[in-house]
């Protein structure tokens, strides 16, 4: 194999692969990047941790076709320090997995592995993929994943909550995440599609898609939910992940009916929670919210540490109520909505779930169980 490519494009591809090849697995070959030539002017970089896989297609000047596996971390470290824009990669025959990299006056030699040893991209039904595929705006998917992924469970015993549940019903798509105490829910309309499918995308995979979406300038992307895989495509990038196999809870049954609301500034509520949560320090203590027509009084008390009290303005005309929340659960939600807007809090009994929703965006709903007073 012999090819010439631009350093910037090569480096971007290696950066996207880095989180995947860095994962710890029991398969020795997974820390490698598989480099394969394709057609007359392309090469493909592929990395996997067995649970997920990513391929990045890069334009190049191809002299001789071929393929090889090179330790990804070592290659990334070397390319990152190069100064010239043009990189030449040359390998010997397939029985001798050695790759030489030339850039200006720099020459690196990598001891690799035969390409046949690499797992490559997972296999899935292409016909099924095409019928299940939907095209959505990049901004929509990035926002939906960002607003839900933080609410997924970290408990291994409740594996079916360790991801974002996505369901597509033709022109409506829903994203849901819960850890049992809170639930984040996004519902969006999309261009008419024929897809009717659902699946639980692992938290780690959602975070990797967010990483990709944040680095792209493309306006739209494609993805599909298959029986065992989530397949995502944007630009010259393809990401495949295994789905969490399990039944997601009937989330719509826990959405409470709210008859009274209050409106408060996102900035003011976040500031108030931060000003009072220093006392609690760790999870388990919580911050009390005393809500009245005069606004919200936030307070936290720990006998061995101290007391914090803050009052903030809010629009409310209902009866006085006191409730207690884990502050980080509210702060995480506030961090993914517009800080210059108001949040509408759905008032409920102190032992029943409350709702939080951006005043200017009805497509997002956050449900949180209070703590015991």
- Model pLDDT for residues 62-84, shown as the tens digit of each residue: 999 999 999 999 999 999 999 99
**Same structural domain for residues 110 and 159?**
no
Token reading at 10: 């090569």
pLDDT in tens, 174-183: 999 999 999 9
Q: In the structure, what pLDDT confidence band is assigned to residue 28 with cuts at 50, 70 and 90? A: confident
**Same structural domain for residues 101 and 204?**
no
For residue 14, how many C-alpha atoms fall within 13 Å in the half-sphere facing its CB?
Answer: 21
Checking if the pLDDT of 146 tops 80, the result is yes
Domain extent, residue 148, equals 129-253
pLDDT in tens, 237-257: 999 999 999 999 999 999 999
Residue 171 lies in a domain: yes
Residue 46 lies in a domain: yes
What CATH number is attached to the domain comprising 320? 3.10.150.10
**Same structural domain for residues 229 and 261?**
no
Checking if the pLDDT of 94 tops 90, the result is no
Q: How far apart are CA 52 and CA 30, in angstroms?
A: 11
Token reading at 128: 């099924």
Residue 215 lies in a domain: yes
Q: Is 272 helix (H, G, I), strand (E, B) or coil?
A: helix
Nearest alpha carbon to residue 366 among 351, 349, 354: 354
**Same structural domain for residues 67 and 12?**
yes
**Same structural domain for residues 96 and 156?**
no
Q: Is 2 helix (H, G, I), strand (E, B) or coil?
A: strand
pLDDT average, residue stretch 37-50: 95
| Sequence-ordered list of residues with C-beta below 8 angstroms from that of 237, at least 6 positions apart, any chain | 16, 54, 55, 56, 57, 212, 216
pTM: 0.93
**Same structural domain for residues 221 and 307?**
no
Q: At what angle do helices 138-146 and 203-214 cross, to 10 degrees?
A: 140
**Same structural domain for residues 244 and 322?**
no
- Which one of 253, 285, 305 terminates a domain? 253
Count of positions (residues) in the chain: 373
Q: At what angle do helices 7-21 and 72-80 cross, to 10 degrees?
A: 140
**Same structural domain for residues 148 and 100?**
no
Residue 111 lies in a domain: yes
Q: Give me the pLDDT at residue 100, please.
A: 96
Residue 364 lies in a domain: yes
Q: In the structure, what pLDDT confidence band is assigned to residue 283 with cuts at 50, 70 and 90? A: low
**Same structural domain for residues 247 and 237?**
yes
The DSSP call for residue 283 is T
- Which one of 203, 238, 253 terminates a domain? 253
**Same structural domain for residues 160 and 264?**
no
Residue 23 lies in a domain: yes
Q: Are 242 and 51 in contact (CB under 8 A)?
A: yes
The DSSP call for residue 211 is H
Q: How many domains does the chain have?
A: 3
Q: Give me the pLDDT at residue 193, please.
A: 78
Q: Is 269 helix (H, G, I), strand (E, B) or coil?
A: helix
**Same structural domain for residues 30 and 109?**
yes
Residue 322 lies in a domain: yes
Q: How far apart are CA 27 and CA 50, in angstroms?
A: 8
Per mean pLDDT, which range of 17-26, 94-103, 130-139 is the poorest?
A: 17-26
- Which one of 226, 253, 280 terminates a domain? 253
Q: In the structure, what pLDDT confidence band is assigned to residue 282 with cuts at 50, 70 and 90? A: low
pLDDT average, residue stretch 149-160: 93
**Same structural domain for residues 264 and 249?**
no
Task: Report which secondary-structure segment, H or E, holds 327.
Answer: helix 327-334
Q: How far apart are CA 338 and CA 248, in angstroms?
A: 29
């Amino acid at each position: 194999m012999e090819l010439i490519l631009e350093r910037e494009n090569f480096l971007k591809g290696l950066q996207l692969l880095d989180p995947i090849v860095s994962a710890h697995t029991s398969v020795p070959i997974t820390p490698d990047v598989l480099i394969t030539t394709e057609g007359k002017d392309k090469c493909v970089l592929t990395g996997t941790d067995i649970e997920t896989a990513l391929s990045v297609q890069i334009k190049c000047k191809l002299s001789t076709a071929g393929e090889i596996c090179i330790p990804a971390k070592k290659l990334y470290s070397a390319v990152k320090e190069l100064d010239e824009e043009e990189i030449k990669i040359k390998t010997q025959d397939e029985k001798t997995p050695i790759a030489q990299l030339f850039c200006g006056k720099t020459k690196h030699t990598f001891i690799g592995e035969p390409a046949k040893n690499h797992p490559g991209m997972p296999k899935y039904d292409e016909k099924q993929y095409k019928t299940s595929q939907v095209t959505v705006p990049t901004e929509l998917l990035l926002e939906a994943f960002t607003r839900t992924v933080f609410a997924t469970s970290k408990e291994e015993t409740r594996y079916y909550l360790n991801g974002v549940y996505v369901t597509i019903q033709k022109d409506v798509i829903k994203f849901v995440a819960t850890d049992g105490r809170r639930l984040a829910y996004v519902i969006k309309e999309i261009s008419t599609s024929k897809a009717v499918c659902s699946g639980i995308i692992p938290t780690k995979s959602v975070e990797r898609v967010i990483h990709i979406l944040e680095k792209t300038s493309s306006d739209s992307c494609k993805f599909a939910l298959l029986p065992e895989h989530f397949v995502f495509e944007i630009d010259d990038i393809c990401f495949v992940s295994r789905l969490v196999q399990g039944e997601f809870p009937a989330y719509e049954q826990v959405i409470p009916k709210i008859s009274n609301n209050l409106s408060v500034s996102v900035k003011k509520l976040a500031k108030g929670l931060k000003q009072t949560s220093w006392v609690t320090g760790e999870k388990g203590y919580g911050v009390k919210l005393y809500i009245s027509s005069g606004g919200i009084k936030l307070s936290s008390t720990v006998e061995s540490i101290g007391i914090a009290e803050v009052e903030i303005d809010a629009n409310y005309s209902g009866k006085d109520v006191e409730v207690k929340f884990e502050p980080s659960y509210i702060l995480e939600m506030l961090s993914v909505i517009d800080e210059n807007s108001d949040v509408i809090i759905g008032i409920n009994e102190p032992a029943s779930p409350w709702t939080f929703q951006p005043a200017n965006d009805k497509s997002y709903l956050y449900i949180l169980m209070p703590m015991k007073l």
